[in-house]
Amino acid sequence: MSERKVFIAGAGIISPVGKGLAETAASLRAGSRPFAPLRLFPSPSLNPLPTGEVVAHFESPDFLPRTFSLAAEAAEQALAAFDGPPDAVLLGITTGGIASTEVALKNNIEDPAAYRYHGAGEVAEFLACKLGCPGPVLTVSTACSSGAAAIKIAADMIRLGMIDSALAGGADCLCRLTYYGFNSLQLIDPKGARPLDASRAGMTVAEAAGMVLLIGSENPPPGAIAQIAGGGLSCDAYHATAPHPEGEGALGAMRGALAEAGVEPGRVDYINLHGTGTIDNDSAEVKAVVKLFGEVPPAFSSIKGMTGHSLAAAGGVEAVVSAICIAENFAPANIGCEVPDPELPAAPILQTKEAPINLVLSNSFGFGGNNASLAIAAPDFTSVGEQTTGRSCLNIKRSALIGGAGGPEACLARLLAGGSIAGETPMAELEKALDPKLIRRLKKTPRMTLLLAQSVVESESVDSIYYGTGWGPLGETYSFIDRLFRTDEKLSSPTDFVGSVHNSPAGQTAMRYHATGANITTTGGDYSFEQAILSATVLGRSGEQMLLIGVDEHHPKLSPLFDGSFDPEAGGSDGGAAMLVEASATRRSPGFNFIFSGSALDPALAIERLAAAIKKENIETPAALLVGIPRAVDQMARRQLEMLCELFDPAPPLIEYRKLTGEHASAAAQAAALAIELKKNKIIPAELSGGEEIAIDNAPLLIIGLGTRITAIEVY
Amino acid sequence: MSQLLQEIKEKVVETLELPDVDASQIGDDDPIVGGSLSIDSIDVLELVIMIEEDYEVKILSKEQGEEVFRSFRSLAEFVEANLPK
């Protein structure tokens, strides 16, 4: 395989320190610290705390939640010199449409139209649509590491030859959920973030968007300002909020990035810390830096004393800043730190350092101990990097699903009999099977997740977790928002805040199984599980033991507002599935092969591209198609289905799986579990084929998602 | 005071959803943090919110929290001493 590098050929940024590369560079050099007491929305009960607000002008139409507008601004900048849409859009997002949602909920708006843009996955879809991007869209929602993780996955997809270009990065806006949430954890410094300072007392919540245009090439394309030389992902598997005190996970991520870049630590010119200003993060992170780089590490600093902490945007922002440092040959000072903490084993640079910068290591560490580190290098940087070995096959050892019919055995039996498992997963099923001490603070989504994991892991070790969810933990989200508004924004629950973060269930699972490898949560409405499969395919390394999970919960108040497929007459459905997977260079049935994800904006084009992708995999006659037709987009999806069926002659048996699973965002995961069982048994029962029992032999099954996006997963 | 102590024990168990814990069996001087109840830092913050919501008593810093949550008795004494008039 030729040495394909991943270049940053465009970059866009908007943050509290300004808009665009030039303004950002000038602000960083000047040591600007633009924190101001909260003013973006009123704080009726508490004294406003310092925040990092974007004050630069950007287009922000009323109908669009703020995060979308920030993302669009950065995307436009990144793509300014690029002709045509990127092949894919991969973003890190935690807030999504929450800034608008929380206001609508406060005002008791019951019209689902007001929540149209709520989903965290909608930002990337919105950009893809705006840009005319025909290919895959993926949203990582792993709190503060999201943006960096999205860039890492995009870079890997390019290296693997799956795509040639991608828009990648992160965006998040200031909103009540995160502002009050971090406040409830007592993690906000009333004096503004002072990273690494001896008397530091926390972070400053901020908003921003940072995006890069990545292009795969052997040589720097025109406009290239840097390259993504490598990336590392890890999970502390230690605590829901506190990092591992010795920085073990941070160390793993940094090591991984340098290994992938094929460099020794000594070649790093500047380390851009995560450096939020919290006592725990800064302490653990600097310990990890010294462990890796020695007692005299390269120049390092946190810029969060200037930009604040923009959560999922931070990884994107800091990748752009790293590229700026390389282009302009400087490392920014650790503004906000007056007296470096003497307890830390090394001190940051307190003045801007003007020097050639060819290699930057940029850290982004999130809740749940979720760590990402990117090695960003000059365009002409060379090394003998770790060769990408190729896409992994995802061989499935064990699989289970839960749903309205109850636990794994009951649900599988019902489905194989052609029956429906629609309805809400009974809470009693979750309580009876899980240790009460383990689940005492957990509501429905994390309970379902842990039960599923428990159903497929016996004595094996688990390295990594890939988790897809359309809406995240709705119970915790609702409970947090409800209490906040009931107390006139005075009180909010730290447990609910931490639990409401999309990746919290995956974090709980990592702790249970001490899974210290990659920990990725993807979100994309009805296509979330397919995104999880894509990320596992891209990131997985041979021999890696993974948990692949898809879960969504029905919430009586929120689901009718958020999920357009909810049918009040049928009632809510929820549940999901998990698979214990071994990544491998070779196939062993049953297993998943990610085939396709494309925008359905031009359905004929999408089906044409799907057909090409299926042909490329040498699939001529699948044994059956398990097709997801969300109720909300039924008409659109059925037109796509007609075109899809014309691709095969004879037409294979069709299983419209949402008629069996019920309407919810993780129905695809349940369908996948069914498909695995069919493949193992090598039979499609008459009750499912709609006619006679069908022998499968070696033919694959295809799981097809239709609607606003078209996706295809092969079950081999 | 003993009524407040009993009430606080019940509220701690209820707020933190501690399984299999009988509030009436908790000793007055039993530790809240670091004892057999396996209460961690997030639980402590949750209790801070509960104390403010139910008694209108604020715990303002981590250091103050460490003192106050030493035992059920120290928590009850703190609440009683700081109840709004």
Average pLDDT, chain A: 96
Q: Enter the tokens of residue B67.
A: 């003192």
- The region of weakest confidence among A72-76, A268-272, A687-691 is A687-691
**Segment A598-630, tens digit of pLDDT:** 999 999 999 999 999 999 999 999 999 999 999
Model confidence at A697, in pLDDT bands (50, 70, 90)? confident
More confident residue, B33 or A703: A703
Model confidence at A71, in pLDDT bands (50, 70, 90)? very high
Span A418-438, average pLDDT = 94
d(CA A433, CA B40): 24
A664 belongs to the catalytic site? no
Span A526-540, average pLDDT = 98
A514 belongs to the catalytic site? no
* Residue B62 pLDDT > 80: no
**pLDDT score for A2:** 55
Interface touch B42/A437, C-beta < 8 Å: no
The secondary structure element, H or E, covering residue A496 is helix A494-500
Identity of the residue in A241, A487, A494 whose CB atom sits nearest the CB atom of B46: A494
CA B60 to chain A, closest CA, distance in angstroms equals 9
Q: Enter the tokens of residue A30.
A: 């000047």
> Letter for the amino acid at A598?
G
d(CA A287, CA A343): 10
Q: Which residue has the tokens 């649900």?
A: A411
ipTM over 0.85: yes
Strand-pair partners of A462: none
Give the largest CA-CA distance in chain B: 36
Interface touch B53/A242, C-beta < 8 Å: no
Model confidence at B36, in pLDDT bands (50, 70, 90)? confident
User: Do A491 and A209 contact (CB within 8 A), yes or no?
Assistant: no
CA B30 to chain A, closest CA, distance in angstroms equals 19
Give the 3-state secondary structure of residue A532.
helix
* Residue A368 pLDDT > 90: no
> Is the Cβ of A191 closer than 8 Å to some Cβ of chain B?
no
Span A547-551, average pLDDT = 98
**A167 contacts: CB under 8 Å, gap ≥ 6:** A75, A78, A79, A86, A88, A89, A90, A127, A131, A133, A211, A212, A213, A214
User: Do A221 and A215 contact (CB within 8 A), yes or no?
Assistant: yes
* Residue A1 pLDDT > 50: no
* Residue A542 pLDDT > 60: yes
Bond from prior residue into A650 cis (ω within 30 degrees of 0): yes
CA dihedral of B35, B38, B42, B45, whole degrees rounded to 10: -40
**pLDDT score for A387:** 65
User: Do A650 and A691 contact (CB within 8 A), yes or no?
Assistant: no
d(CA A364, CA A619): 40
Residue of A nearest to B54 (CA): A491
**pLDDT score for A30:** 97
> Is the Cβ of A57 closer than 8 Å to some Cβ of chain B?
no
* Residue A389 pLDDT > 80: no
A274 belongs to the catalytic site? yes
Span A557-568, average pLDDT = 98
| Beta strands A464-468; A519-522: pairing state | parallel
B46 interaction partners in chain A (CB closer than 8 Å): 493-495
Model confidence at A388, in pLDDT bands (50, 70, 90)? low
> Letter for the amino acid at A408?
P
Q: Which residue has the tokens 């590229």?
A: A323
Identity of the residue in B18, B42, B48 whose CB atom sits nearest the CB atom of A498: B42
Interface touch B43/A493, C-beta < 8 Å: no
Give φ, ψ of A377 to 5 degrees: -125, 165
**A384 contacts: CB under 8 Å, gap ≥ 6:** A262
Bond from prior residue into A590 cis (ω within 30 degrees of 0): yes
Interface touch A241/B19, C-beta < 8 Å: no
CA A367 to chain B, closest CA, distance in angstroms equals 13
Catalytic residue among A144, A175, A337, A411: A144
User: Do A209 and A350 contact (CB within 8 A), yes or no?
Assistant: no
> Letter for the amino acid at B81?
A
- The region of weakest confidence among A31-40, A201-210, A382-391, B16-25 is A382-391
Q: Where does A247-312 show beta strands of DSSP type E?
A: 270-272, 299-301
Q: Is A587 left (phi over 0), alpha (psi -120 to 50) or beta?
A: beta
Q: Enter the tokens of residue A206.
A: 């901020």
